[in-house]
Every structure is written in C-alpha cells, then in structure tokens.
Structure 1
Amino acid sequence: MTYSSRGDGSAVAQPEPDCPLEAKISYLRHPDAYRFYHARHVEAIETRLSWVFLTERHAFKLKKPRKLPELDLSTVALRRANCLTEIRLNRRLAPTVYHDALSLALQADGTLRLCARPQPTDRIVDWVVWMRRLPTERRMDELIRSKAMLPSDVRRLSVIFWQFYRFSLPVPMSTDRYLGHFRKNVEENQEAVRTRLPKGMLDRASQAALWQRTFLKTQRTLLRRRVVEGRIIEGHGDLRPEHVFLESPPKIIDCLEFDRTLRLLDPVDELSYLALECDRLGAGWIGDRILESYMLRSGDRPDLRLIAFYRTFRACIRIRLAACRLDDATAGQREHWLKRIDGYLECIEKR
C-alpha cells in the first residue's frame, strides 16, 4: 500500500502506485528535483540498499524496494518507517545532519515532486532521507589515508564516544542470549567462506574460527560478566571510519538502523571494531587511543583477552560480508574483495 494526502494532513491508504525505481532515480538525478534546495549539480551514488544523491549542500537517500532476510523495504510504508528510524537513531551522534523525511509525490499530471508537504491530489510513491552533506575531506578514513589525522582529532572523538556510552542506558539481556549471538555468528562466518575463499585464505579463516570457538568454551565467563555488569547498551552498530566526520564537534552517521538486535552491544566491542578498521587502514594507534581513552574515563577495564576476541570476531564478520560479494564480482572486483579479506586476516593474526 501507499498513501495520498488529505487536506487535514492525515493519510489515505491507496494501492501501490505504478512508479518504477528507474523513474524515481531518473528524476532525482536532475538538479530541477531540488529547486528548493539550491542545487546546480547532482552526483548519484548507488549502494547495496539505496541510492544517494549529493548536491552542493545536501544529501538525499532513496531506499531500494528490496526484501532481504534481515530487512524488508518492499513497500512505501516500510520504507517510510525505515527512513524515520534512520533519522531518529542517527540524530544521537549527528544531531545537525539528519533533517527530515521528504515525500516523493506523484502529481496529478504524472510528474514527480520532492517535497516536505504533499498536496491533497498527490500520491506519495516513496520517501527520501534529507541530510546535510558532510565534507569528504574530513571523513576519518580519508584523513587516515592522507596521514592528516591529528592527536587533537582523536581526543575530540574520544570525548564524543565516552559521552555517548556514558548516557546510554543498559539493556537487559540474558547471558545465554549474549553468548548465543557469538556462537551463531562464528558458525555462520565459517559456513559463508567455506566454498568462497581460496584454500590458503580459508585455512587462515578456519584458524580464526577455531580460536573463537575455544574462547567461547574456555573464557565465556568474560562475556557473561559484561552482561551481569550491565555493559550492554544500544550503540551505533556499524562504527567504521567512513562513518566518522571530524567536524567540530565530530559527527558519526549511518548507524545500523534496520536491526536493533545488532545495535545491542558492549561499548568495548564497538570501539574494538573501530580499532580494527583503523588498524586495517594502517593507523592502529588511532583506534587503540580511542579505546584506551574510553576505558580510562569510564573506569571500565575489561580483560585484554576479551578485546582480542571482539576484534577477531568483528574481523570475521567483515570477511564473511566481503566473501559474499565474490559471488557476482568481476575479475577486478574479485581482486579488490580478496585484498580486503587478506587485510582482515592480517589484523586477526596480530592478536
């Protein structure tokens, strides 16, 4: 179902309109779509789940109408709900970036219009997340690659994370559920790479999986203690350098909005993930300092074996995701993903 607008502002359910994704993309590629947002140029970027349209000052995200095991965006209503959830969650760490969810309306004459307030005769065929465009040159991964990340940047970012976790309420969770999450994913990681990786890489990934299984048998008390101590909170869920912008203050965007269970985590796990990604980019000192700063400010000093487990586990998750991209990759793309996997394996082997 989709919705049309009434004069009183309420919505009326309508059959799903015949407006294909290609027509929406074609419209949003053109600067005229953003005449109220002072756009002269539009850059379109396709991701796995969306299309992002960048103008000089803004970014507009259109969700793809897809239905996956972990996410259903197959209807206009579901995409609207996802847009609103994305805005709400991301305002926690980027309050001035996420503006609103805009309507993509089909007008009576058959043309599309991007607007905040549809007319009574409009039929809403989709929703678009409207954001402020952030400067790419201040993105953390770009700063790392250009060796421009400063200790002062790291200190400011450390304060942001400490404050975020400090004011996040503990989420009740059973120890069995917490341990079960890791056991399940260790096996899924291994199953995903079994038929996809070259033998040498598969052997290295299998060694990592064996180490993780052993940890879950012999050191599970370390994980249980995190639950008992109330350390599990609703975090960002996808804390990578490409989602961090070193403005003043820093902004962290693109949280994992579609599955709350994946946002329920230990802050040390989340910061270990960021440290892993910094290490893969050749700047392990950055993630290590941020994690150390969190532990110093919070007084939370987990066992180093737990940090090693979190990092290794996160690396194997990333290996699994990269391995799945090999299924339909071209020769050049395959080389890219195998290089990415090798980078994660090297990070694992440093533990």
Structure 2
Amino acid sequence: MPAAITHTVEMKLHISAAVAADRTLVTALRERLQSDTGQPVSLVETHISWVLLTSKLAYKLKKPVALGFVDFRSLAARKHFCEEEVRLNRRLAPSLYVGVVPICGTTQAPHLGDGEPMDFAVCMRRFPEDALLCSLLPAGRLQEGQLEQFAQRLAVFHEKAQMAAPDSTFGTPAQVGRPVVDALARLRAGGGARCPSDLQAWVFEQKRALRTAWLERQRHGAVRECHGDLHLANVVLLDGRLTAFDCIEFDPSLRWIDVMSDVAFLTMDLKAHGRADLAFRFLDAYLQHSGDYAGVPVLRFYEVYRALVRPLVCRLRARTGADACLPSEPDYLACAAELARTAHGTPRLMITYGLSGSGKSTMAAALLAPAGAIRIRSDVERKRLFGLGVQQRSADRHAEIYSQEATRRTFARLAECARTALQAGYPVIVDAAFLRRDERLAFRALAAELRVPFSILHCRAAEAQLRRRVAARDAEGSDASEATLAVLERQLATYEPLGRDECAFALEVATDDPVDVASLGARWLARSH
C-alpha cells in the first residue's frame, strides 16, 4: 500500500478512535450533569461538536476531528477555538456566552471545574429551541419591527468590526470566487441533485464581471471580521431582541468577509423559506442604517454562494453521524438556481411624489417585497451626508442640513445609489418628496440613460389628513423625516404639480383609505416605458 494512502488510513483510524473516546467522555459527562442537577440532560450532535443541554445551561464540546475546514484533533486546538468562540460571539451576544470551562477527572468520571483539563467546553445560557428565528417564522411569532431592529444592530456591528488589512488576501477576487466553484464541484461529485448548467455558467460569468467590484469593496473597507454563518438557525429571540450567535470561529477566511456576504446569508435563507417579503424588509433596514448601496451589485452572488453551501453542510452532517437535517429544510439548490435566473431581471426606476404626510414612505416600503426592490430615502441620505443617524434629529444644524446646497448633494447621492442598484439589475424606489419639477426630470433622465422604465408614485391625501399625520409623526420623533406643520404649509404654498408630460408616468394613489399594494405593485411591474 502506498505511503500516502497508508498515512491517510492511519489518520482516519486515529480520528475515529479519538471521536469514540470523546463520545465516551460526553456520555459520562451527561450522566454526571444529570446526577448533579437531578434533571434530564439532552445531547445534540453536529458534524463538529456535541452539545449537552441542562435546564439552564448548554455545554458545547468540540469533536477531535479534521474535516479540511477544521482541525480540532489536539487539546490545545480545542481550547483555543473554545476561547475564540466565546470572544467572537460576545460581540453580538454578550449575555449568551458564559465562558470556557475545563473538563477534568477521567474519561469515565469527568467533572467540570478544578483539576488537570482533559478537554474544554463553551458554556452558554440555554434558550428554548422555539426561540430560534427558523422556528419563530412558521409559528407566526416574529413581531413587526424585530427583524428591522436586528438589521440596524447588524449594521452597527459591521461598522465597528475590524477591517481587513489592505494587503490581506481576505475578500480578494480569488478568495471570493474559489469557494463557490469548490461548492459547485462538490455538489457535482456528491451525486444526488444536479447543479443546473446555467447556474454553473452564471457563477463563472459573475466571477469575471464582479472582479473590479470585489477589489473596490476590499479597498474601501467592506471586508471585515464578520459573523460568517448568519442563517435562520443562528438567530435567536433573546430578552425580546433577535440576536445572532454561533459565528464562525474555526476558519478566519470564512469570517473575514465582505459585510454583504453576512447580509446575503440571512436574505437568502429568508427567501429559501418562502419569506422574500421579510428578506427585502431586512435588506431595506440594513441599507438605511449602513448606507452600503455600493454593496448591492455583489449581494446576489453571495446569496447564490450561501445557497450552494447549505446542501453541503446537510450532507456533511449526515455523513459524520450528526443529527439529521430538519425535514422542513428548503431546497437550497433550487433557491440558488432561482436567484441566478432572476439576477438580470427587469430593473426599473420609481420616484415618489407627494406632500409630507401623504404616505410616500409607507407606500414605498410596502412595494419592496412584491417588486423585489431597493429603496433609497432622501431623509436618511441627507442626514448621512452630515454624519447623523437615521432617527437622529438635526437640532441646531437644521438650516445647514436643509440648505439648497445640502439638497443638491442629497439628490446627487440618491442618483448615485439608484444608478448602482439599477445597474445591478434591481427595481429601485427613490423615496423623496420630489416637489420640484427639475428634481423629477433629473431622475427621468437617469432612467432614459439606463434604458429602464420610469414611474412616478403620486401619493395624495386630504389636507386635514396630512396635518394629522405630520403632527403625530413629529411628536413621536421615531422616523427619519423631520417635517413639521410649518414645513407642510410651505410645501402647500410652493410645490410644483406634475406637468402633462409627467402624468403619463404617474401611478396615483389616495392614501386616506387602505391601498391595494399587490395591485399597485403589479401595475408598476407591468409598465414598459
């Protein structure tokens, strides 16, 4: 037998023996915990870990395995990666991760605490399994606003996360493209469902087309130390807030990634589970708080990549004897194919038009899901230009922020973001008052330049309704808009109505009563001019 094969066989036998020994340890530790607590302790097994669940705590032990992407065979490695797991996950879930605990004693009689460690475990607060986002969704227990609030916290996390060094290989075209091609090859080699040939062709075409974008993303600090594994089963409702946990600790290249790769995992998983509406709400909230519209062109590629990896993880779990994948696991390969198929959809541009309180932002937000659109808000981008947060009041800087020059810069920013998203193949909604004809004409010209259909969403409501809405919103202070009753009165006196030439592009909606959003969306998407 050749030496290389002999070495491989011996290594596999060594790993199998180590796993068997540690399985004995886990069984004995489970019995010890049951004896100590007087309550049942359950065991959950993945392809790289065992998790012992007591009534209040969870103890996660790493298997002594080497699977190519992980190598936990040595005690030092398991200790190191337990510590890394706690350090990294405390960035997003500090209250969930208690710490690293040593496992002492013997394999047959282990205990937690003092002594010479023979292994280590990550100790966490236990949470109910039905608190996971993958359980909340089908049960209808996700409350309005929770996903948007999570998107905001993720944007803040990404902003504070450490950037990859300029000379790093993280986020380079070679590093981004290689795992996607590898995933395709492994899916082909593994048998079962075949990767559609057009999906493979799309991946290779995108590798070429996005090369410059990836280089720009890396150069401008978009590659950071992220979560890396942000699917629905790694987000939990904890103390009333959605919280991400169980990030990638074992491979820096899977964690030091473009922030859009993090976002894409969750948007893909929501789409795969039939909740594209929530995917676009999450994306909209993330983009508003991050301003990272430059990342939209690479989003779809990362979504496809994430969808290709999920079947491989399920296959690996089954091969390594871990707990089987859930019966409700969606068809991720079909999701990847659909994402690639619709990547070059029908981009189109819509601008909103209406007085403050007419429902422009409400209608724009409602159209995101049926249209699969990207929204850009003038109220948000204006504040971003001056370093203010989405809901931060401008206070004594009001005159500066709402000057003519600030307005010019704001609309230039809106046009830049709209151009980027349109060229990436997405429908775009620019959410602004657009009460001046020259502002509307500039975006009509942009649509003509890019040869995409152009529409004006004309929102109107009775003046008494406008005043009620503006006063209530101003008093609440929870929206990006800072329009007051005085602002509304000025608008009523100075706005420029749509010209006859513009009416051909208008979709008019009265928002005093509920609006049939599905019908409105269908009317918009049916337009070809």
The alignment's TM-score, normalised by the length of structure 1, stands at: 0.82
Q: Which residue of 2 aligns with 1:271?
A: 263
| Alpha-carbon spacing, 1:271–1:337, altered in 2? closer, same or farther (3 Å) | closer
Question: RCO greater where, 1 or 2, for CA within 8 Å and sep 6 or more?
Answer: 1
Matches of 1:20 and 1:328, distance apart in 2: 16
Say whether residues 1:246 and 2:237 are aligned partners: yes
What does 1:124-203 correspond to in 2, within 5 Å? 124-174=117-167, 178-198=172-192, 201-203=193-195
Instruction: Report if the CA contact (8 A) 2:303-2:336 is conserved.
Output: no
Q: CA deviation at 1:183?
A: 2.7
What does 1:1-351 correspond to in 2, within 5 Å? 20-30=21-31, 32=33, 35=36, 38=37, 40-106=39-105, 112-118=109-115, 123-174=116-167, 178-198=172-192, 201-204=193-196, 206-247=197-238, 248-302=240-294, 304-322=296-314, 339-351=331-343
Matches of 1:319 and 1:222, distance apart in 2: 28
Question: How many residue pairs align between the two structures?
Answer: 322
Instruction: Report if the CA contact (8 A) 1:29-1:42 is conserved.
Output: yes
Q: CA deviation at 1:344?
A: 4.3
Q: CA deviation at 1:302?
A: 2.3
Instruction: Report if the CA contact (8 A) 2:49-2:63 is conserved.
Output: yes
SS state of the match for residue 202, structure 1?
coil
Q: CA deviation at 1:138?
A: 1.7
SS state of the match for residue 130, structure 2?
helix
Matches of 1:21 and 1:190, distance apart in 2: 33
Aligned-pair Cα RMSD in Å: 3.0
| Alpha-carbon spacing, 1:61–1:305, altered in 2? closer, same or farther (3 Å) | same
Q: CA deviation at 1:341?
A: 3.6
Counterpart of 1:45 in structure 2: which amino acid? V
The range that moved more, 184-193 or 170-179, is 170-179
Q: CA deviation at 1:130?
A: 0.9
Q: CA deviation at 1:78?
A: 1.5
Q: CA deviation at 1:303?
A: 5.8
Q: CA deviation at 1:48?
A: 0.4
Instruction: Report if the CA contact (8 A) 2:43-2:53 is conserved.
Output: yes
Matches of 1:342 and 1:237, distance apart in 2: 22
Matches of 1:336 and 1:300, distance apart in 2: 33
Describe the superposition over 1:297-330 as per-residue Cα deviations: whole angstroms up to 9, x where unpaired: 122112643222221222223344445567689x
Matches of 1:94 and 1:126, distance apart in 2: 24
| Alpha-carbon spacing, 1:350–1:143, altered in 2? closer, same or farther (3 Å) | farther
SS state of the match for residue 227, structure 2?
coil
Q: CA deviation at 1:335?
A: 9.2
Unpaired stretches in structure 2, ≥5 consecutive residues: 1-17, 344-529
Matches of 2:133 and 2:180, distance apart in 1: 29
Q: CA deviation at 1:74?
A: 1.0
Counterpart of 1:250 in structure 2: which amino acid? L
Counterpart of 1:101 in structure 2: which amino acid? V
Q: CA deviation at 1:50?
A: 1.0
Q: Percent identity, aligned pairs only?
A: 24
Q: Which residue of 1 aligns with 2:399?
A: none
Q: CA deviation at 1:340?
A: 4.8
SS state of the match for residue 105, structure 1?
strand
Counterpart of 1:249 in structure 2: which amino acid? R
Larger radius of gyration: 2
Q: CA deviation at 1:31?
A: 5.3
Instruction: Report if the CA contact (8 A) 1:241-1:277 is conserved.
Output: yes
| Alpha-carbon spacing, 1:176–1:79, altered in 2? closer, same or farther (3 Å) | closer
Counterpart of 2:21 in structure 1: which amino acid? P
Q: CA deviation at 1:272?
A: 1.2
Instruction: Report if the CA contact (8 A) 2:195-2:333 is conserved.
Output: no
Q: Which residue of 1 aligns with 2:365?
A: none
Q: Which residue of 2 aligns with 1:6?
A: none
Q: CA deviation at 1:159?
A: 2.2
Matches of 1:334 and 1:100, distance apart in 2: 29
The alignment's TM-score, normalised by the length of structure 2, stands at: 0.56
SS state of the match for residue 73, structure 2?
coil
SS state of the match for residue 293, structure 2?
coil
